[in-house]
Structure 1
Amino acid sequence: MTLCIPTQTFPKFRPDASLQQAILEMTRKKLGMTAITTDTGKLLGIFTDGDLRRSFEKGQRLHEQPISALMTTPFRSIDAHSLAVEALNLMQEHAITVLPVVQDDAVIGIIHMHDLLRAGIA
């Protein structure tokens, strides 16, 4: 899948990162999500703008929690060898706009619905 945003340009954090760190980086990168990974790049979960809103609704003490306590798991992802149309179908089926691209359990990129729209796939 060549439409994905490579790992060096999207936000990713270790599970012990603070919510503040994640939100600031998500804002800088303008993706509305961050990947939560091990040091070796294994994808453990994702944290999205929606997760932030749901955490507020639940009244969680956000400033006291690591990002791993707030991340979505299990999460949706797609294999690096999948077709872009498969990513589109998965995103539409689950009403999501961002999808991690994985290879051997490691996140190698992110595909965003806007990428699919620009490429004329959606």
Structure 2
Amino acid sequence: MLTLQIGEKISMAVKFNIKDTFNKKLPADSILENSRRQVEEARFSYVRAKTPNNLSLLRTLPKMLAHVGLLEEDGKTKNFLHVLSGAVVLPNPYAMCYAGHQFGNWVGQLG
């Protein structure tokens, strides 16, 4: 049972089918400041997420819900909306560093 705070107590039983190894095995950014900058010698940065306003859910895909261990009914709950929108932040949120082509040019850091 995952219990998180957002003005009131929100709980959601979740069994996500996700392996949590990325942020445990790769180096984290040593700078905790949340700003736009080039990140050196790290694969992710811990972040303080901003809470979104006026939440609404447009659509869920039953096949994707099942892939992460959720039922179709789970995707229709306020708890689901709050967690997936970022209104409730799970412990230790992070942003990944990655590189690739964007608009036809190589970009050394996109995340």
Report if TM-score (shorter chain) is over 0.5: no
**Alignment TM-score, normalising by the size of structure 1:** 0.25
**Alignment TM-score, normalising by the size of structure 2:** 0.27
Q: Which is greater in Rg?
A: 2
Where relative contact order (Cα < 8 A, 6+ residues apart) is larger, the structure is 1
User: Greater share of helix residues, 1 or 2?
Assistant: 1
